[in-house]
Chains A and B, each alone.
Chain A
Amino acid sequence: MKIITIFTALIVLSIVWGGLIFFLSRAVKYEKMKSRNGER
């Protein structure tokens, strides 16, 4: 596999899947925080 293919795959997957995991973890964190504070 060419370096450019691996590089593109890494960029695309890390932004899209990485972004999803990042935002999901943030949402879980905020939800936990809110339920600890009795907001939920």
Chain B
Amino acid sequence: MKQQEFFSSRWALIIATIGIAVGTGNIWRFSRVVAQNGGGSFLIPWVVFLLIWSVPLIIAEFAIGKYARLGPVGSISKTAGKQFAWMGAFVAFVSTAIMFYYSVVTGWCLRYFISAASGDLFSTADHLAYWNTFSSGYQPLLFHFISMLIVAFIVYKGITNGIEKVTKYLVPSLLVILLILFFRAITLPNAVEGIKYFFTPDIEVMLDYKVWLNALTQNAWDTGAGWGLILTYAIYMRKKEDISLNAALIGFGNNSVSLIAGITIFSTVFALSIPGTGEVDAMVQISKSGPANTGLTFIYLPQLFNKISGSAAVNIFFASLFFIALFFAAVTSLISMVELTTRTLIDFGFNRRRAIIFVAAAGFLLGIPSAQNLNFLINQDWVWGVGLILSGAFISFSIIRYGVDKFRTEIINGYGSDYKIGRWYNFLIGILVPVQVVALVLWWLISSASWDPEWWNPFHAENAGTCLFQWAIVIGIFVLFNKTMVKQIESN
């Protein structure tokens, strides 16, 4: 198949890829995980894993996509060997399964933006009841449909006329909004208490291995490394485009945004809650998950936005800014998930129009259970969230199969590269990333056994059994159809 579209410039590629990496995970998950893991004690390991997990895997994804010019199934088959095409299919499936419920989450953000902008969000003092009324009604389904429709239209328009054009406006707008909120938050009285907590480490907490594993998980989830999404955008990078410098920019850019969002949320929560008065305790509120981890964002922050100033208009302004930023972050990530599935179908012989109609319809239908039942969403988030670690492992495995040194010298440091990377990369991608995967998967499974005595039961929402059961079904099907998938891609 002849490559038809490319990102028009390096900056267009970087902005679109930043759009993948910066999602709701940077804004609401990061702050919650920092609070649950001792503030500053978490930040040090989080920076370490940016260097030894995120950046090497982002480099790998850019390089594989640029080299193979195919979606995850074809790419992994080309680098690891045809008998491992199922691994690429698993990578594609995990991101697709996440797409089904991520569209629901994107819809929540849109609905809360509309509520905030119209002032409806502040018509109540009981935000938990407000959330429960919203999430148990028909609206999550409606907004899931709207989100999927918007994103499908953008992806249908293609790379330069759709994805590039939209992310060119959304990503810079998101950054400007976050900076406005950041400066407002750090200038609130008592904001410094939040900043102090955010950066103060506790050596004892830092020596706890769980903090390190949480830091690794956060990097795996919020940079988009190992999802196959960056690999998909890399298909459309020009041949003369650099890999390693662009990858570093994405990793560091993503974590910079997380820091801005974290400082903003900690400053706001500490400034506007009054610990010890019985009203609220800042730390409890930040670290409290709420249903599907929504507590901080959809229940507690609306209460705080109502207290930013005495003027209702100012409060509405800042709340609207926050939720539109969240919506932009979610949309730019959702675009990449829809594009990944669309591109995979294109590799199988669909044209873009047919592929996007199929993906949007399937995305809407298979997202319905998550829109209607939070427990289903929690289960899917758990199963495929942990599955991402496996995806990272498969990407790393494909490079080991290809030959780590050959991969580095011929592809990463090949034509177009601005920045040649040294042998240290061989150690990171060939040894350190696999070691991290094994540690993380074992820890997740062992921890889940400790909190669920029936850890093997596949019908529990969050345990080892449900992960192993669903992964086994998906992997089994893909292994069975491995040859058919390879044949189909080769014939196109």
A residues apposed to B, CB below 8 Å: 1-2, 4-6, 8-9, 11-13, 15-17, 19-20, 23-24, 26-27, 30-31, 39-40
B402 on the A face (CB < 8 A): no
User: Are B199 and A20 in contact, CB atoms less than 8 angstroms apart?
Assistant: no
Which residue on chain A has the smallest CB distance to residue B46?
A: A12
CA distance A30 to B11 in the complex (A): 12
Which residue on chain A has the smallest CB distance to residue B249?
A: A23
B240 on the A face (CB < 8 A): yes
Within the complex, the shortest CB–CB distance from B37 to chain A, in Å, comes to 14
User: Are B44 and A23 in contact, CB atoms less than 8 angstroms apart?
Assistant: no
B contact face: mostly helix, strand, loop, or mixed: helix
User: Are A23 and B196 in contact, CB atoms less than 8 angstroms apart?
Assistant: no
User: Are A11 and B44 in contact, CB atoms less than 8 angstroms apart?
Assistant: yes
Instruction: Provide the residues of chain A in CB contact with B47, threshold 8 Å.
Output: 11-12, 15-16
Q: With A20-B249, A27-B246 in contact, do A8 and B44 touch (Cβ < 8 Å)?
A: yes
Instruction: Provide the residues of chain B in CB contact with A17, threshold 8 Å.
Output: 256, 259
Q: With A8-B43, A11-B44, A26-B419 in contact, do A16 and B252 touch (Cβ < 8 Å)?
A: yes
Choose from A8, A16, A19, A26 the contact partner of B418 (Cβ within 8 Å).
A26
Choose from A4, A13, A16, A40 the contact partner of B50 (Cβ within 8 Å).
A16
Within 8 A of A (CB), among B13-45: 14, 40, 43-44
Instruction: Provide the residues of chain B in CB contact with A11, threshold 8 Å.
Output: 44, 47
Within the complex, the shortest CB–CB distance from B250 to chain A, in Å, comes to 9
Q: With A1-B196, A16-B50, A17-B259 in contact, do A8 and B240 touch (Cβ < 8 Å)?
A: no
B253 on the A face (CB < 8 A): yes
A contact face: mostly helix, strand, loop, or mixed: helix
B residues apposed to A, CB below 8 Å: 9-11, 14, 40, 43-44, 47, 50, 192, 195-196, 199-201, 240, 242, 245-246, 248-249, 252-253, 255-256, 259, 418-419
User: Are B256 and A23 in contact, CB atoms less than 8 angstroms apart?
Assistant: no
Q: With A5-B40, A16-B252 in contact, do A39 and B418 touch (Cβ < 8 Å)?
A: no
Q: A8-B44, A23-B249 are in contact. List 17 more A-B contacts (CB 8 A).
A: A4-B200, A5-B201, A8-B199, A8-B201, A9-B40, A9-B195, A11-B47, A12-B47, A16-B252, A16-B259, A17-B256, A19-B252, A27-B14, A27-B245, A27-B418, A31-B10, A40-B9
Choose from B44, B195, B201, B242 the contact partner of A30 (Cβ within 8 Å).
B242
CA distance A4 to B430 in the complex (A): 35
Q: With A5-B196, A20-B256 in contact, do A12 and B249 touch (Cβ < 8 Å)?
A: no
Q: With A8-B43, A8-B201 in contact, do A20 and B252 touch (Cβ < 8 Å)?
A: yes
CA distance A6 to B195 in the complex (A): 10
CA distance A6 to B40 in the complex (A): 10
Within the complex, the shortest CB–CB distance from A7 to chain B, in Å, comes to 9
A-B contact pairs, 13 of them (CB 8 A): A8-B40, A8-B44, A8-B200, A9-B40, A11-B44, A11-B47, A16-B259, A20-B252, A23-B245, A23-B248, A27-B10, A30-B418, A39-B240
CA distance A8 to B47 in the complex (A): 11
Which residue on chain A has the smallest CB distance to residue B246?
A: A27
Instruction: Provide the residues of chain B in CB contact with A40, threshold 8 Å.
Output: 9
CA distance A26 to B418 in the complex (A): 9
CA distance A19 to B50 in the complex (A): 11
Most chain A beta-carbon neighbours within 10 Å: one of B9, B199, B249: B199
Instruction: Provide the residues of chain B in CB contact with A19, threshold 8 Å.
Output: 248, 252
CA distance A35 to B50 in the complex (A): 31
Which residue on chain A has the smallest CB distance to residue B419?
A: A26
Nearest 5 Cβ contacts at the A-B interface: A9-B199, A20-B252, A30-B418, A19-B252, A5-B200
Which residue on chain A has the smallest CB distance to residue B10?
A: A31
Instruction: Provide the residues of chain B in CB contact with A31, threshold 8 Å.
Output: 10-11
Q: With A15-B47, A16-B256, A17-B256 in contact, do A27 and B201 touch (Cβ < 8 Å)?
A: no
CA distance A34 to B418 in the complex (A): 10
Instruction: Provide the residues of chain B in CB contact with A6, threshold 8 Å.
Output: 199
Instruction: Provide the residues of chain A in CB contact with B195, threshold 8 Å.
Output: 9
User: Are A24 and B249 in contact, CB atoms less than 8 angstroms apart?
Assistant: yes
CA distance A5 to B140 in the complex (A): 42
CA distance A31 to B419 in the complex (A): 12
CA distance A17 to B182 in the complex (A): 15
Choose from B10, B40, B192, B252 the contact partner of A23 (Cβ within 8 Å).
B252
CA distance A31 to B452 in the complex (A): 54
Choose from B43, B50, B200, B249 the contact partner of A27 (Cβ within 8 Å).
B249
Instruction: Provide the residues of chain B in CB contact with A23, threshold 8 Å.
Output: 245, 248-249, 252
Within the complex, the shortest CB–CB distance from B426 to chain A, in Å, comes to 21
